[in-house]
A and B are shown apart, each in its own frame.
Chain A
Amino acid sequence: MIALLQDPVRRRLYEFVAAQGREVGRNEAAEAAGVARTLAAFHLDRLVAGGLLEAGSRRLTGRSGPGAGRPAKVYRRSPGERGVSVPARDYRTAAGLLAEAAEAAGLDVEVRDAARRRGRALGGEGPCGGLDELAEVLAARGYEPVPDEGGAVLRMRNCPFGAVADAFPPLVCGMNLALLEGLVEGSSGVRVRMDARPGWCCVAAEAVGPSKNNEH
């Protein structure tokens, strides 16, 4: 699985397709990776064979009927998750069990408190300045941030807590928000808030104007 992404061209193609969050045609991917269409097609199909991408077909022109041509092959990221740990570890089962117990015991507030403390520790380098800086931090933590609303808001395409968040949304999304609240604590330029939408991480970050900072 890792070996699949060792080739730099293949890796660029994978990262491009994953970052679009939609189906991507061969031409578009080839252009983005700066390689010929046939080479892109070869690598894209290898990524499909390896389970990292899914392939489908679509008429990219939007036309149908005679003259519309053959549907083009399109690619998108496979929804499955891949984890690698050497030697083998099973943090996912541990996380699921702990979440199940915390849910049953009603420990939402305690989990949030712990998450906020952890967030503060992670942000220990000093408060991040603006959304761009926060985007880098979030990207490094796997959130796949994307600017929205003309760059005023940052939304996250990936939930790093995936399966556990799906199983216990109020508990784990609350934990996630508190973690990020801790991370941006002390920052005058950004804040985070709950903004759950289908297919996105539950939290959004936004820039805070200077006028609001003067309030505290």
Chain B
Amino acid sequence: MSDHTPASARPASTRFHLAQFNVATLRFPLGDPRMAEFVAQLEPVNALADAAPGFVWRLTEEGEPDATGMRPAGDDVIINYSVWESAEALWDFVYRSPHLETMRRRREWFGRHADAHLVLWWVPAGRTPTVGEALERLALLRDRGPSPRAFTFASSYTAEEAAAAGAAGAGAAGAGAASV
């Protein structure tokens, strides 16, 4: 189960954070009674994420508590976008917290995706990644398969590997914020 390697000195892991982006195709509109139990879980599960160890940031629509109203990937496709200190922190939130209950019931609410629906990549700590960047990374994963620029839990790369490959969401902006 979760037996992580003891913390040896890993400098790149503090200079980079892990971004995750996933898309989910709604089976019914969010207002549909068949989606009510999913919608009811949004607030408590988002609160859980905000308080989770290693949580850094999640996308919200301006003036809204979440991003379910944003549909950059299609009218019936909701997105979920967040940044974490490490892959372990993200994994523990997604699969080892009450969030797993939402995942367990995903097929009651969301269609299955033939293509990859989740993508991970490293970003410089302190820089908030953009939605455009997320869509690019997902497209990259779908077109070329996993790489240090765009990967999944099953095919993951460390921050060091991504940095060595020059694939850690460069972006001129944020590299200055190396404090964690």
Contact = CB atoms under 8 A, between A and B. Distances in A.
B1 interface: yes
Contact of B2 (A109, A167, A177, A199): A199
Interface stretch (B15-23, B29-37, B90-98, B133-141): B90-98
A154 B96 CA distance: 17
A194 B154 contact: no
A79 B104 contact: no
Nearest to B101: A194
A79 B106 contact: no
Interface of B: 1-3, 92, 94-98, 100-101, 103-108, 111-112, 154
A196 B100 contact: yes
Contacts of A159: 1
A170 B104 contact: yes
Interface residues of A, number: 23
Nearest to A202: B100
Contacts of A109: 107-108
Contact of A167 (B92, B104, B105, B154): B154
Given A169-B95, A198-B92, A198-B96, A174 B3 contact: no
A41 B106 CA distance: 50
A162 interface: yes
Contacts of A169: 94-95, 100, 103
A79 B1 contact: yes
